[in-house]
Amino acid sequence: MNYDQPRQLAAGEHAGKWQYTSANRRTGCHPIGYCWAPGPDSDHQDPKTWPIHYHDTEDEARACYGQYLRDNVRLDKPHSWSWGSCDVPECKNPANNGAHSGEWNMALLCDDHFNVDDAIVALRLAGPAGDSMHS
């Protein structure tokens, strides 16, 4: 089970700073999103070259990961998902278009809402990131 949430660093050079992190028994705890992601000068294949970001508050860490999720919304090939109802609030249209951000956030979208802005709404990513438990 993965537990994604902001955590405050208890020791070391950046003690007291915050990062949005993922933790599980197998891999331990590590920063995710823009708290640890390739930068413009990074080798995308070598995580040792990726910058690590630290925040002064828990709210800043949540906002950072929320922005990362919004910046990484992807629309899948049109009409490639199974039929269901659109995940945009108040919409009752049939839908078979998919959007996702990160590994665990997915939404079903109708043709009228098959765009990044509506996907952000359907994925509930409009604000700071909350906590997540997923496997």
The pTM is what? 0.88
CB atoms within 10 A of CB 19: 26
Residues 93-109 have pLDDT tens digits of 999 999 999 878 999 99
What's the mean pLDDT in 1-11? 95
Secondary structure of residue 114 in the 3-state scheme:
coil
d(CA 2, CA 61) in angstroms, rounded, equals: 18
In this prediction, residue 104 carries a pLDDT of: 83
Residues 53-97 have pLDDT tens digits of 899 999 999 999 999 999 999 999 999 999 999 999 999 999 999
